[in-house]
A and B are shown apart, each in its own frame.
Chain A
Amino acid sequence: MAEQRTPLQDLQDTGAPGTPPDGGPDAAAVRDALGVGTAVGLSGFAFGVTSAGAGLTLLQTCALSLLVFTGASQFALVGALAAGGNPFTAAAGAFFLGVRNAFYGLRLSQLLALPRPLRPLAAHWVIDETTAVTLSRPTRRSARIGFTVTGLTLYVLWNLTTLAGALGAKALGDTGAWGLDAASPAVFLALLAPMLRSTTERVAAGLAVLLVLGLLPVLPAGAPVLLSALAAPAVLFLGGRGTRRDADRTGGTTDTKPAPHTTPAPHTREDR
């Protein structure tokens, strides 16, 4: 699993300064990026099959993977169109799902420090998987390598397998029977797992699950996932109050004390 750190990797990465470009964090970045890019890229097959099954043409299916390139939104759009939704509500649902990429971008622009002219190009690759790989890198150089290799591998494979899936959809018959609809949540879980490092992350994840499942039956498609993002500020607010109370007791201040839920360790290291 790409983002899970073994003790050995951590040792290698902490030895980063002076590490030759072909070893340590850079090599780990390429390895993890190729792993994620390949595995998730291959799941474009499931999208191609689903989209063709929903009645979209080959050209429409491929245009989605080429131009939208954010899996959850693509699945959401195709699902809404298949269910008979009008193009505007279908697109709104897909857009709401895509809004999370803006939050990823906030984080990535800081970690990657891309030159302005490059940003419009890099933006297309700002998705769950590139973010997960980039966030887990210990140095800016390896973060950039992770982002680029994941983005490139995933973009090429996702589009090729979308094409293959759309072409092969008829041959497969009932796609549900093949279990392909479980690929997408498994991908999200695999991306999420290494992020659950502290209680704060786990509570936020748990609260988000409760929110989305509670809101799903009552709100239109797309809105529940977007509203579940409120779990993050809610947990920070509650955690902040707890920390402040502790600080009052010990006479310290919250600002000087590293909060338990600050950004995962690799990004706070000095070598960034």
Chain B
Amino acid sequence: MTDPLVPPPRKDPQKRSVSPTRPPEWRSRAAMGLTAAAAETRFALQSCTECGALQYPPRDACRSCLGTDLPWVDADPAGTLLAETTVRHSTKLYFRERVPWRMGSVQLDAGPVVLCHLHPDVTPRARVRMTNRLDRAGQGVLIALPQTPTPHMQEAPIMRAVTSDPKLRRVLITDARAALTPALTRALLEAGAATVFVGLSEAWRGPLPQIEGAEVLPLDVTDTASVQKLAGEIGGKVDILINTARFLRPGGVLARGDTGFAATEMEVNAMGLMRLAQAFGPGMCGRTGDGVNNAVAWVNILDAHALSPDPAYGSFGASQAAARAIALSLRGEFRASGLRVMNAYVGPTEEDWFAPLPPPKVAPKALARDIVAGLQDGAEDIWCGDVARDLRDRWRADAKVLERELTMGGDAP
């Protein structure tokens, strides 16, 4: 049984911070399929379209028939532990600082044998359940878990290493007035977050929504000085940053008549993200090796129309596409430290400015629950609500067809 985590002592600034090393990240292009599945926490194997054989390790040709069309498909995660070892000496710095490290060989019921990380609660020769997660190099890795969940299993070092679980971590939510923030604060505290900081801009604007348990601090993402000031005060304690700041008005390009709202959308949704990243990013990247409460994740909430805009919200869609491009760039820039960028793609939420849209819409509580679950699972991309999942599937199937469907226009007279 895994020992539950205990709150770590206050950090001693005289002591060395464990460097932000990462596990091996070289992979073949074929192996990236495992990473793509891990980004959504799916367990998948290469499957030959010609003969149906499942295989592992990843290859460019089927070992049964030499077929070369080998998509990754979700697979049965059940297996049996064949053999195991505890690595006590590793030539790779990431592991050298973390040994002993338990790994093993698992015969999958689906056929192939995999090498994988072993959860400490897996017993020798046991039946196991495989899971596919991103490691701190941002690559998919396989972990054998006990067949049935054990107490505190999420708190084992291997699970802390591959997830961004909020337990005992300190979280900054950037906008106290976002409809999501109270629900998100509650969900994080229920998940064991040590502290939730909440940013508040322009306190004079009116009463604050009820945010129990959060520490409210001044933060205006459109003001560089404000962002830098808060980063100076709490930047060294933020383990997870969740950007809820968002400005939104309905209307396409022609409907507006000017660029005023569009400028604010860009200023908050895209430039705000950049300001936050510039102020908080480097500090968080330097603290990814910090033990139990290390910096682990940066969360963006993006409208799913960042993939392809809805002309009724065209200028907002442009700001979301810009924010998405910035988020993907940050993912690359943060990668070297192991700091994970999680994008939560969401369909229309229950808020005033989306009132004209038909259901289904995403309630703040549901979005908060998905974000916390995404952090607990260590996801990189999550899709919240039916609209977001529908857009994702259509975009993946054919981006052009989706574009045409979204930009249909009225019937000719």
Same complex for A and B? Answer no
Chain A residues with CB under 8 Å of chain B are none
Chain B residues with CB under 8 Å of chain A are none
